[in-house]
Chain A
Amino acid sequence: MRLKKRSEPITESKDLNELLKRILDLAQGVLESEAATLFLVDRDTDELVFKIVNGPMASELQGKRIEIGEGIAGRTAREGKSFIVNRPKKSGYEDKFDKQTGFNTESLLASPLIIDGETIGVIEVINSKGGDYNEKSKKILEQLAAQVSSELKMALLGERLSKSEDFLNSVIDSLPGGIIILDDEGIIKKSNKTVEKMLGKKDIEGQQLKEVLPYKDILESIRKTKYKGSFEAVIRRNGRESHFNFELSRAKEISSSGIEAEYIIIQIGDVTEKIELDRLKYLQEANSNFVAGLSHRLRTPLTPILGLSSMLKDQKDFPENYKEMIEIIYGASLEMREMVEKLLDIAKIGANKAIEIDEEVDLSSVLSEVISDLDQGTFEFKKNKGGFIVKGNNIWLSKSLKELLTIGLKEKSHQLKLELKGEDKYVYFNLLGFESLVKDFSKLENAPIFQFDDPLTGDSDIKYLDLPLIRLILNQHNVKISVREDENLLSLRFEKAGK
C-alpha cells in the first residue's frame, strides 16, 4: 500500500507527459491539424505554459508562456469555454507568436481543460487541413479535453494521495507504539516498523490479522471491543512472556468518488517492562512497609524490657547470679534495639527515603566513579504513554548527567547527605539545587523533566532528560537511582555496587 515517493510535481511526470502527448497527437490527427498545443495553467503566475507542442514551431514555443486572457488560448482559459476561430486575422486576432516565429495561423480551435469546475489548462489545434473547424470538430476536441482533464485529475489526486500517504507512513513509522490499520475484511492495509519488530514478523501488509496475530484470545478480545476500546494481553514467544496493550479505534475514509470505507486502527504498546517495574515497585513498597511496621511494633515490647532491665541492673541488693541474669537481659535488649534501628534503615532504603549520615567522605571521588561508568554504549529510550521519546548518544547523556550532578552539588552542597556503608555507596541530594534546570516541575505528576542544551554542541535538539531515562541509563551501568518526591522536593539516590 505504500506508494513510491514522488520527488517531482505530477505535471512533470514522464508517464503523464507521454500520455498527454498521445492524446494531443490523437487530437491533432483526428482533427487533421497542422499543429496542436497543450497548455497548463501556472497558478503561481496566472499564466498559460506551452506544455506540449506539436507542429513546425514546437521547439520555439515549448515552455513559452502567455497571460490568461491573452490570445485565443488565454481567452479559452479565462472564460472556460471552447473557441473556434477560422482566419483569425480577418476576425481581428493577432497572434504574437506568429509574428515572432513567422508561422501563419489560419484556423484555430481551443477547448479548456476543466477539473471540478476549475480550468487547469487548454488544448488547442491549429490550421485544419480539411477545411474550417466546426461544431463537430469542437465536440471532438471537447471530448478529448475531458479525457485529458480526467487523466490529469487522476494524476493530481494520485500525487496528493501519494504525498499524504508518504506523510502518514512517516508519522506511523515514527510512533513509539505499534500500529496496524485493518480494512473491513480484516486485512492489514498499513502497519509500522515497530509493530513488525514487536510481533517478530515482516511485510505484514496485505495479510489477514489472524495470520499475523495467531492468538485466539487476542482476536476474541479484539472482537469483544467491537473495535473501540482497549485491553491488555500476554503473548508467549520463544519462552518469553510479553505484555501488550491493545487500543482500538475506527476511522472512516471517503474517497474522491464518494465511496466510504471503514478502517480499524489497532495501536499496540509493549508494556512488559512497565508491568515488571510496577510489580517490583509494589513488592518493594510492600516489603518496606512490612519491615518499617515490624520495626515500630518491636519497639513497644522492647521499651519495658530494656527500661526495666536497665533499672534492675543498678540494684545492689540482688544475689550475684541474679545480677548476671539481669545484665544478660539488658545486653540482649540493647542488641535488639540496634537491630530494630537497622530494620528501619533497611525499610527506608527500600522505600527510597533518605537516611541521615554524618560521616565525612570524599564526595567527588564517589560521583566521578559513578559517572566514569557511563562512557560507553548508545542509548535510545522511549517512554510509555503520556510521555515523550528521548534519543541521544552516550556522550551527551553522560555529560548531561554530569552537569546535573555538578550544578546540584555546587549550589546546595550542604544539603547533600551521603553514606558509605560497606561496599555500597549511596549518594543523596535534593532538587532544590536544580531549580534553574527544572521546568514545570509542579505540573508533572511522575516525570520531572530536566531541560538541557547539548553541552557538547550547544544544540537544543534533544532537550529533555527524564528520571525514568536516567534510571535506565544508570541501570545499564549497574548504578541504581531512586527517587523520593514530596510536594516541592525531589530527592534522588544513586546506588552503585562496589567493585
Chain B
Amino acid sequence: MAKVLVADDVPSILYLFKEFFKLKGFEVDTADNGFEVGKKLRNNNYHLVVLDIKMGGKHGLEVLENVIERGYKFPVIVCTAYGHLKEDVDLITKGKLDVEFLTKPPDLELLWDKVVKLLEKNAIKEEIGTDNRK
C-alpha cells in the first residue's frame, strides 16, 4: 500500500487530506508542524508527501531544503494558500526533487491527477514500496 505523509497546521485540512487519501487506498500519516515532518521522514518510508508551506515550527521551504539535503527521493505536492511562493519552491527544488504546486483550496480532481502523475513518474525510476529514505 502506498504511503503518504500529509503536513498542515490546520486540523480540518489534515482531516480532509487524510480522508481523501484513505478513500484512494493510501496509508496516511499526518504531521501538524515542520519538526514533526522531519521526525516522521526519518522514521518512515513515504511514497508521497503533501506539504503546506506556512506552518508552525519549521517553515515548509526549510523542510524542502532538508528533504533535498538528506537525499530523499519521494515526490512532493506543495499545497499552500500563498500562490506567489511557487517561485521560491521552484528555486529550491528545481532539478533536485519532483514537486507539484497547488494553491488552496485545491480542486481534488486536480490533486488526484498530480498524485497519479508523480507516482507514475516515480514508479518508472524505482518500484513503489522500496526504501526511498536515502
With contacts A296-B81, A296-B82, A344-B83 taken as known, whether A303 is within 8 angstroms of B106 at the C-beta atoms is yes
From A296, A301, A311, B12 is in contact (CB under 8 Å) with A301
**Set of chain A residues within 8 Å of B93, measured between Cβ atoms:** none
Interface of B is mostly: helix
**Number of residues of chain A lying within 8 A (CB) of chain B:** 17
Closest to B12 in A: A304
Closest to A298 in B: B81
Q: Is A230 an interface residue (CB 8 A)?
A: no
With contacts A299-B105, A310-B108, A311-B23 taken as known, whether A304 is within 8 angstroms of B16 at the C-beta atoms is yes
Q: Is A7 an interface residue (CB 8 A)?
A: no
Annotate A289-318 by CB proximity to B: 1 below 8 A, 0 otherwise: 000000011011111111110110000000
Question: Once the chains bind, are A299 and B103 in contact (CB under 8 Å)?
Answer: yes
Question: Once the chains bind, are A311 and B105 in contact (CB under 8 Å)?
Answer: no
Question: Once the chains bind, are B108 and A311 in contact (CB under 8 Å)?
Answer: yes
Bound together, the chains give a CA A494 to CA B108 distance in angstroms of 38
**Set of chain B residues within 8 Å of A344, measured between Cβ atoms:** 83
Question: Once the chains bind, are B81 and A304 in contact (CB under 8 Å)?
Answer: no
Closest to A303 in B: B105
Question: Once the chains bind, are A300 and B81 in contact (CB under 8 Å)?
Answer: yes
**Set of chain B residues within 8 Å of A296, measured between Cβ atoms:** 81-82
Q: Mark out the residues of chain B between 57 and 92 whose CB falls within 8 Å of any chain A CB in the assembled complex.
A: 81-83
Question: Once the chains bind, are A299 and B16 in contact (CB under 8 Å)?
Answer: no
Question: Once the chains bind, are A300 and B13 in contact (CB under 8 Å)?
Answer: yes
**Set of chain B residues within 8 Å of A65, measured between Cβ atoms:** none
**Set of chain A residues within 8 Å of B82, measured between Cβ atoms:** 296
Bound together, the chains give a CA A344 to CA B23 distance in angstroms of 32
Question: Once the chains bind, are B12 and A299 in contact (CB under 8 Å)?
Answer: no
**Set of chain B residues within 8 Å of A307, measured between Cβ atoms:** 13, 16-17, 20, 105-106, 108
Interface of A is mostly: helix
Q: Is A127 an interface residue (CB 8 A)?
A: no
**Set of chain B residues within 8 Å of A303, measured between Cβ atoms:** 10, 12-13, 16, 81, 104-106
Minimum CB–CB distance for B105 against chain A, Å = 4
Question: Once the chains bind, are A300 and B19 in contact (CB under 8 Å)?
Answer: no
Minimum CB–CB distance for B91 against chain A, Å = 14
Closest to A336 in B: B105
**Set of chain A residues within 8 Å of B13, measured between Cβ atoms:** 300, 303-304, 307
Question: Once the chains bind, are A333 and B105 in contact (CB under 8 Å)?
Answer: yes
Q: Is A337 an interface residue (CB 8 A)?
A: yes
Most chain A CB within 10 A, of B10, B81, B82, is at B81
Bound together, the chains give a CA A306 to CA B106 distance in angstroms of 8
Most chain B CB within 10 A, of A299, A302, A333, A344, is at A299
Bound together, the chains give a CA A311 to CA B16 distance in angstroms of 9
**Set of chain A residues within 8 Å of B12, measured between Cβ atoms:** 301, 303-304
Bound together, the chains give a CA A278 to CA B12 distance in angstroms of 42
With contacts A296-B81, A300-B81, A344-B83 taken as known, whether A308 is within 8 angstroms of B105 at the C-beta atoms is no
Annotate A336-360 by CB proximity to B: 1 below 8 A, 0 otherwise: 0100000010000000000000000
Bound together, the chains give a CA A307 to CA B15 distance in angstroms of 10
**Set of chain A residues within 8 Å of B15, measured between Cβ atoms:** 304, 308
Minimum CB–CB distance for B28 against chain A, Å = 14
Question: Once the chains bind, are A300 and B10 in contact (CB under 8 Å)?
Answer: yes
Minimum CB–CB distance for B106 against chain A, Å = 7
Bound together, the chains give a CA A306 to CA B109 distance in angstroms of 12
With contacts A304-B13, A306-B105, A307-B105 taken as known, whether A299 is within 8 angstroms of B81 at the C-beta atoms is yes
Closest to B17 in A: A307
**Set of chain A residues within 8 Å of B20, measured between Cβ atoms:** 307, 311
**Set of chain A residues within 8 Å of B106, measured between Cβ atoms:** 303, 307
**Set of chain A residues within 8 Å of B81, measured between Cβ atoms:** 296-297, 299-300, 303
Bound together, the chains give a CA A90 to CA B13 distance in angstroms of 127
Most chain B CB within 10 A, of A300, A301, A337, is at A300
**Set of chain B residues within 8 Å of A311, measured between Cβ atoms:** 16, 19-20, 23, 108
**Set of chain A residues within 8 Å of B17, measured between Cβ atoms:** 307
Closest to A295 in B: B81
From B10, B19, B103, B104, A308 is in contact (CB under 8 Å) with B19
With contacts A308-B16, A308-B19, A311-B23 taken as known, whether A300 is within 8 angstroms of B108 at the C-beta atoms is no
Annotate B18-38 by CB proximity to A: 1 below 8 A, 0 otherwise: 011001000000000000000
Bound together, the chains give a CA A306 to CA B15 distance in angstroms of 13
Question: Once the chains bind, are A300 and B23 in contact (CB under 8 Å)?
Answer: no
Bound together, the chains give a CA A337 to CA B110 distance in angstroms of 15
Bound together, the chains give a CA A305 to CA B16 distance in angstroms of 9
**Set of chain B residues within 8 Å of A297, measured between Cβ atoms:** 81
With contacts A296-B81, A308-B16 taken as known, whether A302 is within 8 angstroms of B105 at the C-beta atoms is yes
By a beta-carbon cutoff of 8 Å, the part of chain A in contact with chain B is 296-297, 299-308, 310-311, 333, 337, 344
Q: Which 10 pairs between the two chains have the least Cβ-Cβ distance?
A: A299-B81, A304-B12, A303-B105, A307-B16, A299-B104, A306-B105, A302-B105, A304-B16, A296-B81, A303-B104
Supply 9 A–B pairs (Cβ within 8 Å), ascending by A: A299-B81, A301-B12, A303-B10, A303-B12, A303-B16, A304-B13, A306-B105, A310-B107, A310-B108
For the A-B complex with A297-B81, A307-B105, A311-B19 known, give 19 more contacts whose Cβ atoms are closer than 8 Å.
A296-B82, A299-B104, A299-B105, A301-B12, A302-B104, A302-B105, A303-B106, A304-B10, A304-B12, A307-B13, A307-B16, A307-B17, A308-B15, A308-B19, A310-B107, A310-B108, A311-B16, A311-B20, A337-B105
